[in-house]
Amino acid sequence: MSDIPACMRKAEDTWDEDGFNWIMDEMIFSFDHEYRCAYDDDYEEDYYYATGEMDYIMQDGEWGKTGPNHTYEVNEEKRKEFEERVTNGFRLFGKYFQNLWD
């Protein structure tokens, strides 16, 4: 059972209530954060570990040039960890969907 961390496995192919709760927490995290990302423009500050202010200007009729006050930075390692956790939660949901009512 490689879906849960090794420290939560009772044996090689079994897991207990803590393992099930971990799986549920991962699913909940994914749905909660995917929903929040859809409506909250500031989610990156909380989950991508982004800092600073965005200052984009239009130049030659196109957006994308950074202005003089642009200090926005994203920690790509933390962003990748976040996206992997969300993706894993959705994968777990697909795998354990029928077990949610047992």
Rounded Cα distance, 92 and 86, in Å: 10
Q: In this structure, are residues 78 and 16 in contact, taking their beta carbons and an 8 Å threshold?
A: no
Q: What is the pLDDT of residue 42?
A: 64
Residues with Cβ within 8 Å of residue 16, at least 6 apart in sequence: 8, 10
Q: What is the pLDDT of residue 43?
A: 63
Rounded Cα distance, 86 and 80, in Å: 10
> Within a domain: residue 53?
yes
**pTM reported for the whole predicted model:** 0.66
Per-residue pLDDT band at 92 (split at 50, 70, 90): very high
> Within a domain: residue 62?
yes
Asked if residue 73 has pLDDT above 80, the reply is: yes
> Within a domain: residue 47?
yes
Q: What is the pLDDT of residue 16?
A: 65
User: In this structure, what token pair is assigned to residue 10?
Assistant: 């009772």
> Within a domain: residue 9?
no
> Within a domain: residue 26?
yes
Q: What's the domain count of the chain?
A: 1
> Within a domain: residue 100?
no
pLDDT tens digits, one per residue of 74-84:
888 888 888 88
> Within a domain: residue 99?
no
Which domain covers residue 87, as residue numbers? Answer: 15-91
CA dihedral sign, ordered 72, 77, 83, 86: negative
pLDDT tens digits, one per residue of 9-64:
665 555 567 778 888 899 998 888 776 666 666 666 666 677 888 888 888 777 77
> Within a domain: residue 101?
no
